Each structure stands twice: as C-alpha cells, then as structure tokens.
C-alpha cells in the first residue's frame, strides 16, 4: 500500500500561512485515494442508512406511516411527507427536501402526530363551527382535540408528583416551574391541581435516560431529538430525557418549564396542535415575553373540562414567569455562602465564562454571575445588572478583551460592549452589523490573533476589535481547532498561554503552538480557577 506523509512545522490559525499546507495535504489525500482505488474500494461494515430510510423511520415513529408494513410504496411516502409538511407549515411538496430534513431533526415532543392533514383541518373547522364536518357532506363528527373519545379525567381535582429532577437545577426552581406549568392549565379550565410528595398521584413527572421500559419506540435518544413524552389519561405520566441540557433561566439548552407545560397538556388528554404558536405544537417552543397558551390550547382544554369557575381565563405571559424565577434566584443567592457549598453552576452548566486582566474568572448563569480568583476563591453571586446596567436577564456568550480592556456580551442577535464607566455609546449593536452570527455558542479573545473569536455551529468568526469589522477569509471551519468538539459553550485564553474550551462538565486544553488539543478532563474537579473547589457533584436521580 502506498503511504504519503507530510511533515510540517508550527502553524498559526491564519489562512494565508496554512494555504500551502492545505495544498500539500490535499495532494497527499489524492495520491492515497488513487492508490486505494487501484487496489480495491474499501467496504464499510456499518454504512449509515440513506436519508430516505431515516425519513421513513421518522414518519413511522410519529404516526404518518403504518409501522406494521415497513415496505412503503412511493405514493404512501409522498402522502406522509405532504401531511408532515402541512402540519409543520413547510411548502407541501411531498419530497424529502432540505427544509423537511431540517424540520425532522429539530427537537420535539416524542408523542405521535397520529391524525393526518384532513383530520387536522376538520379539528380547526370544528373550532369555528361548533362541530366537525366531513368534507362535502353535512354529517357532523364528534371529534375534539384529544387522542380518543373518553381519554380525559372524570374529575376536576388532580394530584401530581415530581419523582426526580436534573441534578444541575435547584429543587426550588424545578418546583416553581412545575407549579406554574400546572397553573397555566388550571387558569384556563375548571381543573385544580395539588402537589403530593408521597404516596400515589394522578400525574407523575420523572426523568430517565435511554431505554426505560416504556414501550417500543419510547427510548430516549440523548441530546436533541425527542425531549420528552407523556401518556394520556388515565395513566397520567410524563417522562423527560435526563441527557438534555435543561435550563430555566438561560438561553442555552431547552427550557424545562415550556416542555413540562406541553407534556402536562398530554396528561390531561390534549393532542398536538397544528397551530404554529400553540404550546401543544409538537416542536419545541422557546419561552418568550408573550402569553404561553394560545387560543387553540385554551379551546382544547375547555372542550374537555369546561371553563374556569370564574368564567374568566387568566393568561400568564412568559415574562411573568421569567421575573418570578429571577426573584427566586435572587432570594436564594442571598443565602448562599462562599465557604459553605460550591456555587450552583458547579452542578454541571453555566451560560458563559471569561477572564479579566487580573486572571479573575467570571462565570455567568441565568441572571447572576460569580467572580473566582486565580486561587479558586469564589465570590457571592450578583445580578448582571449590578455591574453591567442594561444587560438582558441572561446572556449567551461573554468575552473580555485585553486589547481594549472591554467586556463583550452576546444575546440573541445583539452585542453589548462595556467599559469601566458603562455601556459604550452606540451599543448594543446588531450582530449582523459586525458580521457575526446571532445566538453564538461562545466568544473569547485570542491573543495570538489579537482579535475576538466567535464560535457558531460548524464555523468560527474573527472580529477585528479596532475596526469592528470581520477579518477577511472568515468564517472558517472549526476543523482548524483540532480536537475541539462541536457545541462548546465557553472558552478562556488563560495566562498559562493555553485556551480552555468547555462543554457541559468537560474541558479541553488547546495549545496554540501545536495547534491542537493537548489535554482534557472534568473542569469542576481539575481546574481550581473555576471555583468548584475540586468537589464532584452528583445529580439527584433517585430512580
């Protein structure tokens, strides 16, 4: 077998200096490929399934194709794709185009979308005409927005129980989210809910990983995909994927409150809704400022259980829940002592991390931030607005720049820049004005380039802080950062000359001289300057 080896020296992550290396490597690959083809083509032992097969599996799992017969003809697949596209508000083509594949990969509820396009249209028609009518006939159908006739609770006072919860979220926050989720539905119907901590309950909420003896097709699939699933009355259970990055007050991960509220709707008997902005839409919905329940959600629950005794629906805007959660967070932060237990972010997640000119780490989570000295001494948490007035309630990325001694904050599609005196004139700016993407994964100052580096998905961007314009030849692939995984949520250029990347509870140490990762581990037990005092924390999983 012919072998090709290219030996190179040190390389900076700059396109003009690495172009000749790329050409040599490409030539090597072509020569090796030529030799391989001459000898014989390699055989993949486990080739990935073609896109069509994965799409059919998806359509079977969520009720668009019959599972009993796995050999589907083109007409059946075309019809199933059209129904799926109609429900998800895509162009109805019946073809497996890129938009359809993208939608299939989006995070969603694991409950099936059993009814087809015609049934959904009949349901919407019934909302406006007081009943459901078959097309081209005067016959009414007695269908409502729940899975089957009779699948509802035959009482108005229900109990619920939280079996376990993610270890990185405080019990009090989870309890507030669950209580508010049930209150959403009681405010819109004649139902009343009460939590019980022991004994039996009508509705049980629990977190699991992978296969959990829940029936065929209900095994959780790790981060993304199916976030949770639930069972209709009278089983009354809702299960959530423990492997997801659950959040309540941050913008990274999936908001647990919104997913709980959706799954509770299923435990009450509600099906998925075809209305784009409905809480009961099958796809994950972010928490915003507007009301959480749509008119379709309210109509559906009232069809089953009637209106509130007062006759008036009380709507809860998402902003109210965010404010209540922030108040709880601030009250709890006042009782936390730096010398008692590690800060809450040590349980597994933070939103952003940076380091100032003194080597002090700043860790951001929700509406709070902590400072950690180089020796690992952690301050009490403070609200973001106390130090940086005008910032939103939470951020997605933060970076301190040694070049101009300024802090840069990212949230959504806007960027804030702060000097010691406050927010700089003209800020916040739209990310697009700086040539940067919205909702970045992370940002950090890279001394080797003298610029700000922003990661998003498979690409990284470089911002010239002098001109506030993107550097030419960017964005580029993250392959330049050899060994750094996708989806990191924080990075720090450390005084030791290394760049540390973070993802969940892991870190990777990147050597700019070798242009590759040279070490990795658990940041809460190995990096003293993160403020976790070397204590390992376990999740609260009692199952």
Per-residue pLDDT of 271-315, as tens digits, reads 999 898 999 999 999 887 788 899 999 999 999 999 998 888 888
Distances (CA, A) of 46 to 33, 43, 50, 51, 316: 21, 9, 12, 15, 50
Return d(Cα 248, Cα 341) in angstroms, integer: 21
**Predicted local confidence at residue 68, as pLDDT:** 64
**Predicted local confidence at residue 15, as pLDDT:** 46
Both tokens assigned to 404: 């101009």
CA quadruple 142, 204, 171, 382: dihedral, nearest 10: -10
User: Which of 331, 329, 355, 356 lies closest to 344 in space, CA to CA?
Assistant: 329
Establish whether 80 is an annotated binding residue: no
Whether the link from the prior residue into 384 is cis, omega within 30° of 0, is no
**Predicted local confidence at residue 66, as pLDDT:** 83
**Predicted local confidence at residue 336, as pLDDT:** 56
- Tell me if 247 sits within 8 A of 287, measured CB to CB: no
**Predicted local confidence at residue 511, as pLDDT:** 96
**Predicted local confidence at residue 5, as pLDDT:** 42
- Tell me if 184 sits within 8 A of 293, measured CB to CB: yes
Establish whether 272 is an annotated binding residue: yes
Looking at 60, 237, 263, 329, which residue is catalytic?
Answer: 263
The CATH homologous superfamily for domain 343-530 is Hemopexin-like domain (2.110.10.10)
DSSP 466-493: TTTEEPTT-SEEGGGSBTPPTT--EEEE
Establish whether 229 is an annotated binding residue: yes
Q: What is the DSSP letter of 148?
A: S
Return d(Cα 198, Cα 326) in angstroms, integer: 29
Could you confirm whether 263 is annotated as catalytic? yes
User: Which of 485, 405, 388, 476 lies closest to 441 in space, CA to CA?
Assistant: 485
Establish whether 202 is an annotated binding residue: yes
440: Cβ–Cβ under 8 A, 6 or more apart, which residues? 396, 397, 410, 431, 454, 455, 456
Establish whether 351 is an annotated binding residue: yes
Establish whether 222 is an annotated binding residue: yes
Q: Which three-class secondary structure string do you get for 66-131?
A: CCCCCCCCHHHHHHHHHHHHHHCCCCCCCCCCHHHHHHHCCCEECCCCCCCHHHHHHHHHHHHHCC
Regions of the chain with pLDDT less than 70 = 1-53, 68-69, 115-150, 216, 250, 327-340, 348, 534-543
**Predicted local confidence at residue 21, as pLDDT:** 43
User: Which of 530, 506, 510, 531 lies closest to 519 in space, CA to CA?
Assistant: 510
Establish whether 106 is an annotated binding residue: no
Return d(Cα 237, Cα 214) in angstroms, integer: 11
Both tokens assigned to 340: 């008692």
Residue corresponding to tokens 């929700």: 366
Domain ranges for the chain? 1-31, 157-325, 343-530
Alpha helices in 334-442 (DSSP H): 384-387
CATH architecture for the domain at 157-325: 3-Layer(aba) Sandwich (3.40)
Residue corresponding to tokens 């938009």: 99
Establish whether 537 is an annotated binding residue: no
Establish whether 241 is an annotated binding residue: yes
DSSP 269-288: TB-----TT-TTSSB-----
DSSP 415-458: EEEEETTEEPTT-SEEGGGGT--SS-SEEEEETTTTEEEEEETT
Establish whether 70 is an annotated binding residue: no
**Predicted local confidence at residue 204, as pLDDT:** 96
Establish whether 356 is an annotated binding residue: no
Distances (CA, A) of 185 to 240, 308, 311: 19, 10, 14
Pairing of strands 108-109, 429-430: unpaired
Establish whether 109 is an annotated binding residue: yes
Establish whether 457 is an annotated binding residue: no
Establish whether 214 is an annotated binding residue: yes
- Tell me if 315 sits within 8 A of 301, measured CB to CB: no
Establish whether 441 is an annotated binding residue: no
Please state the separation of Cα 506 from the chain's center in Å. Answer: 18
Establish whether 4 is an annotated binding residue: no
């Amino acid at each position: 077998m012919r072998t090709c080896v290219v030996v190179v020296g040190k390389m900076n992550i700059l396109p003009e200096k690495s172009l000749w290396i790329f050409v040599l490597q490409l030539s090597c690959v072509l020569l090796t490929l030529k030799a391989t083809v001459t000898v014989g083509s390699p055989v993949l032992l486990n080739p990935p399934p073609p896109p069509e097969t994965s799409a059919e599996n998806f359509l079977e799992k969520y009720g668009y194709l019959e599972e009993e017969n796995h050999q589907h003809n083109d007409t059946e697949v075309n019809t199933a794709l059209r129904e799926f596209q109609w429900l998800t508000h895509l162009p109805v083509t019946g073809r497996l185009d890129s938009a359809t594949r993208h939608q299939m990969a989006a995070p969603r509820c694991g409950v099936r979308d059993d009814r087809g396009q015609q049934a959904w249209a009949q349901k919407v028609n019934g909302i406006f005409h007081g009943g459901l009518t078959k097309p081209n006939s005067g016959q009414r159908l007695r269908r409502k927005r729940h899975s089957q006739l009779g699948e509802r609770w035959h009482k108005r006072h229900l109990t619920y129980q939280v079996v376990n919860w993610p270890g990185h979220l405080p019990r009090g926050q989870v309890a507030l989210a669950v209580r508010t989720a049930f209150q959403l539905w009681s405010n819109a119907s004649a139902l009343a809910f009460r939590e019980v901590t022991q004994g039996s309950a009508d509705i049980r909420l629990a977190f699991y990983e992978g296969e959990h003896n829940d029936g065929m097709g209900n095994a959780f699939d790790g981060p993304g995909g199916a976030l949770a699933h639930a069972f209709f009355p009278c089983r009354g259970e809702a299960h959530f994927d423990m492997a997801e990055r659950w959040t309540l007050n941050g913008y990274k991960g999936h908001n647990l409150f919104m997913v709980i509220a959706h799954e509770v709707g299923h435990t009450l008997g509600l099906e998925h809704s075809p209305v784009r902005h409905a809480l009961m839409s099958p796809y994950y919905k972010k928490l915003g400022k507007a009301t959480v329940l749509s008119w379709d959600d309210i109509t559906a629950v009232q069809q089953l259980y009637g209106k509130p005794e007062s006759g008036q629906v009380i709507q809860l805007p998402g902003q109210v829940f965010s404010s209540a959660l922030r108040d709880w967070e601030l009250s709890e932060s006042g009782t936390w002592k730096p010398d008692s237990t590690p800060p809450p972010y040590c349980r597994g997640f933070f939103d952003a991390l940076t380091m100032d000119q003194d080597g002090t780490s700043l860790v951001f989570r929700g509406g709070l931030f902590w400072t950690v000295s180089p020796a690992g001494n952690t301050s009490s948490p403070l609200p973001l607005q106390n130090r940086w007035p005008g910032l939103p309630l939470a951020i997605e990325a933060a970076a301190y720049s040694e070049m101009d001694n300024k802090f840069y904050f990212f949230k959504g599609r806007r960027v804030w820049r702060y000097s010691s005196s406050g927010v700089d004139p003209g800020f916040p700016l739209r990310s697009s004005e700086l040539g940067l993407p919205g909702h970045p994964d992370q940002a950090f100052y890279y001394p080797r380039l003298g610029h700000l580096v922003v990661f998003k998905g498979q690409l990284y961007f470089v911002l010239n802080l002098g001109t506030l314009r993107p550097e030419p030849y960017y964005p580029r692939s993250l392959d330049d950062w050899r060994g750094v995984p996708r989806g990191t949520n924080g990075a720090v250029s450390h005084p030791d000359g290394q760049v540390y990347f973070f993802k969940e509870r892991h870190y990777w140490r990147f050597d700019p001289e070798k242009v590759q990762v040279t070490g990795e581990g658990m940041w809460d037990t190995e990096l003293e300057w993160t403020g976790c005092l070397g204590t390992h924390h376990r999740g609260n999983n009692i199952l």
